[in-house]
Structure 1
Protein backbone atom coordinates (compact mmCIF):
# COMPACT_ATOMS: atom_id res chain seq x y z
CA UNK A 1 0.00 0.00 0.00
CA UNK A 2 1.78 3.08 -1.25
CA UNK A 3 0.04 5.82 0.74
CA UNK A 4 1.14 4.50 4.14
CA UNK A 5 4.17 6.56 5.13
CA UNK A 6 4.38 5.67 8.82
CA UNK A 7 4.65 1.89 8.52
CA UNK A 8 8.26 0.75 8.28
CA UNK A 9 10.06 -2.55 7.88
CA UNK A 10 13.58 -3.18 9.12
CA UNK A 11 14.95 -6.67 9.73
CA UNK A 12 16.94 -5.28 12.66
CA UNK A 13 13.90 -3.78 14.41
CA UNK A 14 11.42 -6.24 15.91
CA UNK A 15 12.56 -8.96 13.50
CA UNK A 16 11.29 -7.09 10.44
CA UNK A 17 7.67 -6.87 11.61
CA UNK A 18 5.76 -3.82 10.40
CA UNK A 19 6.45 -1.02 12.87
CA UNK A 20 5.41 2.57 13.44
CA UNK A 21 8.01 5.04 12.11
CA UNK A 22 10.97 2.73 12.79
CA UNK A 23 10.18 2.47 16.48
CA UNK A 24 9.81 -0.75 18.41
CA UNK A 25 6.02 -0.43 18.27
CA UNK A 26 4.49 -2.99 15.94
CA UNK A 27 1.30 -2.77 13.94
CA UNK A 28 0.21 -5.94 15.72
CA UNK A 29 0.62 -4.29 19.10
CA UNK A 30 -1.57 -1.36 18.05
CA UNK A 31 -4.21 -3.64 16.55
CA UNK A 32 -4.17 -5.75 19.71
CA UNK A 33 -4.74 -2.70 21.89
CA UNK A 34 -7.67 -1.56 19.75
CA UNK A 35 -9.11 -5.09 19.72
CA UNK A 36 -8.94 -5.25 23.51
CA UNK A 37 -11.03 -2.10 23.79
CA UNK A 38 -8.52 0.74 24.05
CA UNK A 39 -9.41 3.90 22.15
CA UNK A 40 -6.92 6.18 20.38
CA UNK A 41 -6.61 8.58 23.29
CA UNK A 42 -5.83 5.76 25.72
CA UNK A 43 -3.18 4.37 23.40
CA UNK A 44 -1.59 7.81 23.03
CA UNK A 45 -1.59 8.19 26.82
CA UNK A 46 0.12 4.80 27.16
CA UNK A 47 2.61 5.59 24.37
CA UNK A 48 2.98 9.40 24.22
CA UNK A 49 5.44 9.21 21.32
CA UNK A 50 2.59 7.96 19.08
CA UNK A 51 -0.07 10.12 17.54
CA UNK A 52 -3.51 9.52 16.07
CA UNK A 53 -2.15 9.20 12.51
CA UNK A 54 0.15 6.37 13.62
CA UNK A 55 -2.83 4.44 14.97
CA UNK A 56 -4.92 5.12 11.85
CA UNK A 57 -2.16 3.88 9.54
CA UNK A 58 -1.60 0.77 11.66
CA UNK A 59 -5.29 -0.08 11.31
CA UNK A 60 -5.30 0.69 7.59
CA UNK A 61 -2.25 -1.51 7.06
CA UNK A 62 -3.76 -4.37 9.06
CA UNK A 63 -7.02 -4.15 7.11
CA UNK A 64 -5.12 -4.18 3.82
CA UNK A 65 -3.07 -7.21 4.87
CA UNK A 66 -6.06 -9.34 5.83
CA UNK A 67 -7.65 -8.64 2.45
CA UNK A 68 -4.55 -9.81 0.60
CA UNK A 69 -4.99 -13.13 -1.13
CA UNK A 70 -2.19 -15.66 -1.35
CA UNK A 71 -2.18 -17.61 -4.56
CA UNK A 72 -0.25 -20.89 -4.43
CA UNK A 73 2.14 -21.47 -7.28
CA UNK A 74 1.37 -24.49 -9.40
CA UNK A 75 3.98 -27.18 -9.08
CA UNK A 76 5.26 -28.31 -12.44
CA UNK A 77 5.14 -31.98 -13.32
CA UNK A 78 8.08 -33.39 -15.17
Structure 2
Protein backbone atom coordinates (compact mmCIF):
# COMPACT_ATOMS: atom_id res chain seq x y z
CA UNK A 1 0.00 0.00 0.00
CA UNK A 2 1.32 3.43 -0.91
CA UNK A 3 0.88 5.37 2.33
CA UNK A 4 1.97 8.62 0.68
CA UNK A 5 -1.32 8.72 -1.20
CA UNK A 6 -3.40 8.23 1.97
CA UNK A 7 -1.44 9.58 4.93
CA UNK A 8 -0.32 13.19 4.65
CA UNK A 9 1.44 15.65 6.89
CA UNK A 10 0.65 19.26 6.08
CA UNK A 11 1.98 21.88 8.52
CA UNK A 12 -1.19 23.99 8.31
CA UNK A 13 -3.62 21.08 8.76
CA UNK A 14 -4.19 19.73 12.28
CA UNK A 15 -0.93 21.25 13.51
CA UNK A 16 1.11 19.03 11.22
CA UNK A 17 -0.20 15.76 12.61
CA UNK A 18 -0.65 12.86 10.17
CA UNK A 19 -4.04 13.14 8.50
CA UNK A 20 -6.05 11.24 5.96
CA UNK A 21 -5.52 12.68 2.48
CA UNK A 22 -5.01 16.22 3.81
CA UNK A 23 -8.45 16.31 5.40
CA UNK A 24 -8.97 17.35 9.00
CA UNK A 25 -9.31 13.74 10.07
CA UNK A 26 -6.20 12.57 11.87
CA UNK A 27 -4.76 9.10 11.72
CA UNK A 28 -4.96 9.15 15.51
CA UNK A 29 -8.72 9.68 15.36
CA UNK A 30 -9.17 6.65 13.14
CA UNK A 31 -6.89 4.52 15.33
CA UNK A 32 -8.66 5.61 18.51
CA UNK A 33 -12.02 4.57 17.06
CA UNK A 34 -10.59 1.18 16.14
CA UNK A 35 -8.96 0.79 19.55
CA UNK A 36 -12.32 1.54 21.18
CA UNK A 37 -13.84 -1.36 19.27
CA UNK A 38 -15.60 0.54 16.49
CA UNK A 39 -15.99 -1.27 13.20
CA UNK A 40 -14.68 0.12 9.95
CA UNK A 41 -18.30 0.37 8.81
CA UNK A 42 -19.23 2.60 11.77
CA UNK A 43 -16.21 4.81 11.19
CA UNK A 44 -17.10 5.17 7.52
CA UNK A 45 -20.66 6.08 8.50
CA UNK A 46 -19.38 8.74 10.93
CA UNK A 47 -16.91 10.14 8.37
CA UNK A 48 -18.47 9.84 4.89
CA UNK A 49 -15.36 11.28 3.21
CA UNK A 50 -13.25 8.36 4.42
CA UNK A 51 -12.68 5.23 2.40
CA UNK A 52 -11.89 1.74 3.63
CA UNK A 53 -8.40 2.14 2.17
CA UNK A 54 -7.89 5.15 4.49
CA UNK A 55 -8.59 2.99 7.54
CA UNK A 56 -6.28 0.28 6.24
CA UNK A 57 -3.59 2.90 5.60
CA UNK A 58 -3.96 4.17 9.17
CA UNK A 59 -3.33 0.67 10.47
CA UNK A 60 -0.35 0.21 8.15
CA UNK A 61 1.06 3.56 9.30
CA UNK A 62 0.70 2.53 12.94
CA UNK A 63 2.43 -0.76 12.20
CA UNK A 64 5.35 1.09 10.64
CA UNK A 65 5.64 3.39 13.65
CA UNK A 66 5.49 0.44 16.03
CA UNK A 67 8.67 -0.87 14.42
CA UNK A 68 10.60 2.38 14.95
CA UNK A 69 12.72 2.77 18.04
CA UNK A 70 11.90 6.07 19.66
CA UNK A 71 13.36 6.46 23.11
CA UNK A 72 11.48 9.68 23.81
CA UNK A 73 7.99 8.17 23.74
CA UNK A 74 6.13 8.52 27.05
CA UNK A 75 5.77 4.77 27.49
CA UNK A 76 6.91 2.68 30.45
CA UNK A 77 10.13 0.90 29.61
CA UNK A 78 10.48 -2.76 30.48
CA UNK A 79 13.30 -3.55 32.89
TM range (shorter): 0.7 to 0.9
Partner SS for 2:32: helix
Unaligned runs of 5+ in 1: 72-78
Figure out how many residues of one structure are paired with residues of the other and give that number. 71
Structure 1 runs (4+) deviating above 3 angstroms are none
- 2:16 maps to 16
**Displacement of 1:70:** 3.2
Q: Distance in 1 between matches of 2:33 and 2:67?
A: 21
Q: Distance in 1 between matches of 2:35 and 2:2?
A: 24
After TM superposition, the score normalised by the length of structure 1 is 0.84
Q: Distance in 2 between matches of 1:63 and 1:30?
A: 14
Larger radius of gyration: 1
Q: Distance in 1 between matches of 2:70 and 2:53?
A: 28
- 2:42 maps to 42
CA deviation profile, 1:36-56 (whole Å, cap 9, x unmatched):
010110000000110100000
Root-mean-square deviation (CA), in Å? 1.8
Q: Note if 1:3 corresponds to 2:2.
A: yes
Q: Distance in 2 between matches of 1:43 and 1:62?
A: 17
